[in-house]
Amino acid sequence: MQFAKRLEKIPPYLFAEINRKRNELVAKGVDIINMAVGDPDKPTPEWIIQVMHEAVDDASTHNYPPYQGTQEFREAAAKWMQCRFGVAGLDPNTEIVSSIGSKEAIHNTFLAFVEAGDYTLIPDPGYPVYRTSTIFAGGECFPMPLKAENNFLPDLSAIPQEVAHKAKLLWINYPNNPTGALATLEFFEELVAFCKRYDILLCHDHAYSEMAYDGYKPPSVLQVAGAKDVAIEFHSLSKSYNMTGWRIGFVAGNAIGIKGLAQVKTNVDSGVFKAIQACAIAAYSHSSDAELQTVISVYQNRRDIIVEGLQSLGWPLQPPKATLYVWTPVPPGYSSTEFAALLLDKCGILVPPGNGYGAAGEGFFRIALTIPDERLREAIQRMRDAGIRYG
């Protein structure tokens, strides 16, 4: 029995490997502070749980859902896009499709549009699925380095014309995982123009659209005039409503992009449980800014604990304005992997090295703000006790 050769090109998924290491150490009795995975530690809001109870009791939710999502869910998503971003006129029938979270839809977009000989333009560092899904689809990645000196935005002028002409997809993710970087509507305009010039589908992974601090509101790429000609945008309830395990989201935008994704999905999944879609409808239709701010304030406070704690140890950090992460430089003299190993060995702190997100992530590590405040403070104290400082 032999694996498909494509698996030889794909390393173990970064977070699966992190969990393996964590489980090994826990089995040995090590008290691990896990700051590796962006999985919210707070429960889903109680009022959403109550909607779920009612929906499960309704026998009409127990059969197969529509592949593209219920009409009510797609209409709620379209209304939310208009209320949140001012993006009006999205057709629920042709420009929105439900998704099983974002990861599934991201992967299936590659299967819909990429084949042998095609390039995908992906951020580096970036969500590992962009690269592995390119491989699954038989394409070739062209990494777009995200550098601190360019505010972690890709340099479109550095993409060779011969690559751009063969590219099918260009992926962006702002607010950005793992760097926490932001993008402006002006930069989105540049991306839309670039993708129109080369007939590329622009894919915006907007998983952190609501996880922003200090009054900042991240924009949608679909706010750009003409963006719907070339762009689709991926949304998820996972982070905003502490619903990572529920697996529910949607993709909106260009009708051809939605049609291609939907065609793959009808052949590989059977949609999202209708009771979960009912909960998502309630979240998009009835939640308030005050409720969302309650969630955001938890992470903003944790951000401040980590940033101020690392600053006290010499780290040159500014607090990020979005995401659940702090993208942190490793001290001089260490590689990303070496420093992540040092934190694990000396402090029992688990973080992913920056190069796990791509070669351009070297020199950084990522801290997830998804553990309680007291554990974050303990992590800083463990570093102080171990004599770990920046420089």
Give the pLDDT confidence of 43-82 residue by residue, as tens digits. Answer: 999 999 999 999 999 999 999 999 999 999 999 999 999 9
> Which is more confident, 289 or 260?
260
6: pLDDT confidence band, cut at 50, 70 and 90? confident
Report, as an integer, the average pLDDT of 317-321: 97
Split at pLDDT 50, 70, 90, the class of 380 is very high
Q: Mean pLDDT, to the nearest integer, of 218-238?
A: 98
Q: At what angle do helices 289-312 and 373-385 cross, to 10 degrees?
A: 10
| Better pLDDT: 21 or 102 | 102
pLDDT at 379: 98
Biggest alpha carbon distance in the chain? 62
Q: For residue 7, name the pLDDT band (cuts at 50, 70, 90).
A: confident
Contact 387, 381 (CB under 8 A): no
Tell me the pLDDT band of 291, cut-offs 50, 70 and 90. confident
- State CA 64 to chain mean position distance: 28
- Mean pLDDT along residues 383-387: 98
Rounded Cα distance, 15 and 219, in Å: 28
pLDDT over 70 percentage in the chain: 99
Q: What is the pLDDT of residue 28?
A: 82
Q: Domains in the chain, please, with CATH?
A: 5-43+290-385 (3.90.1150.10), 46-286 (3.40.640.10)
Q: What is the pLDDT of residue 69?
A: 98
Quote the pLDDT of residue 21: 77
pLDDT tens, 14-30? 667 777 777 887 788 88
Give the pLDDT of residue 288: 78
Please check the confidence at residue 316 and state whether its pLDDT lies above 70. yes
pLDDT of residue 15: 64
* Cis before 319? omega within 30: no
pLDDT (tens digit, 9 = 90+) per residue, 331-343?
999 999 999 989 9
The pLDDT value recorded for residue 20 is 79
CB 297 within 8 A of CB 306: no
Task: Indicate the pTM of the whole model.
Answer: 0.95
- For 157-215, write each residue's pLDDT tens digit: 999 999 999 999 999 999 999 999 999 999 999 999 999 999 999 999 999 999 999 99
